């Protein structure tokens, strides 16, 4: 009497995306950063239980941190660990990347936000970007262009 156990593999797949960032900001430059995680967080990420919609990147003491990302703990998490779903997580970046990001934020008025979290082999990577905010008329223009591209595709595929 064997039971079939379905294991959800997530090889090279996206864990979470921040679609709102693409709508609210002009993306200037993208970077790939590693994440410093605890064991229960990795298990939750394998189950796809992460949201980065309301999160952003902060800089302290020449280090970058992911602030506001939520990783929901699994019910089967260990009993001796108290999971904190919205703790601040350290980003793993090279010194040159950190200096470039901090310089752009301090001098040029950019903001740093996460765009996506994904698996790269057995490692968890976070795609972050330097962004500038969009005004309301910019959002309307982007939406108008997107609608026109969709209509154009429908016309040519008939």
pLDDT of residue 95: 92
Q: How confident is the model at residue 110 (pLDDT cuts 50, 70, 90)?
A: confident
pLDDT of residue 32: 92
Q: For 2-23, what is the mean pLDDT?
A: 66
Only one residue has tokens 């999160």, namely: 55
Does residue 8 belong to any structural domain of this protein?
A: no
Does residue 9 belong to any structural domain of this protein?
A: no
Does residue 39 belong to any structural domain of this protein?
A: yes
Does residue 3 belong to any structural domain of this protein?
A: no
Cα distance from N-terminal residue to C-terminal residue, the chain: 54
- pLDDT greater than 90 at residue 65: yes
Does residue 2 belong to any structural domain of this protein?
A: no
Does residue 1 belong to any structural domain of this protein?
A: no
pLDDT of residue 79: 67
* Spatial CA neighbour of 126 closest among 4, 9, 18: 18
Q: How confident is the model at residue 6 (pLDDT cuts 50, 70, 90)?
A: very low
Does residue 136 belong to any structural domain of this protein?
A: yes
| CATH at residue 56 | 2.40.280.10
Does residue 5 belong to any structural domain of this protein?
A: no
pLDDT of residue 7: 42
* Spatial CA neighbour of 46 closest among 118, 128, 127: 118
The number of folded domains in the chain is 1
Q: For 95-119, what is the mean pLDDT?
A: 87
How far is CA 134 from each of CA 37, 75, 111, 143, rounded to the nearest angstrom?
32, 40, 12, 12
More confident residue, 83 or 59: 59
E strands present in 6-135: 14-17, 25-35, 50-51, 56-60, 63-67, 70-71, 89-92, 111-120, 123-133
Q: How confident is the model at residue 42 (pLDDT cuts 50, 70, 90)?
A: confident
Provide the domain limits for residue 30: 14-157
């Amino acid at each position: 009497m064997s039971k079939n156990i379905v294991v959800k593999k997530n090889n090279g797949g996206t864990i979470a995306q921040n679609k709102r960032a693409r709508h609210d900001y002009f993306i200037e430059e993208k970077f790939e950063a590693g994440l410093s995680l605890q064991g229960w967080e990795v298990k939750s990420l394998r189950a796809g239980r992460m949201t980065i919609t309301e999160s952003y990147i902060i800089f302290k003491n020449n280090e970058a941190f992911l602030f506001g990302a939520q990783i929901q703990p699994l019910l089967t998490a260990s009993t001796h660990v108290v999971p904190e779903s919205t703790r601040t997580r350290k980003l793993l970046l090279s010194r040159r990347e950190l200096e470039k990001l901090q310089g752009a934020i301090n001098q040029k008025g950019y903001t740093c936000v996460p765009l996506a979290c994904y698996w790269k082999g057995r490692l968890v990577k976070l795609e972050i970007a330097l962004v500038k905010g969009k005004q309301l008329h910019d959002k309307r223009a982007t939406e108008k262009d997107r609608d026109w591209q969709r209509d154009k595709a429908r016309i040519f595929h008939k």
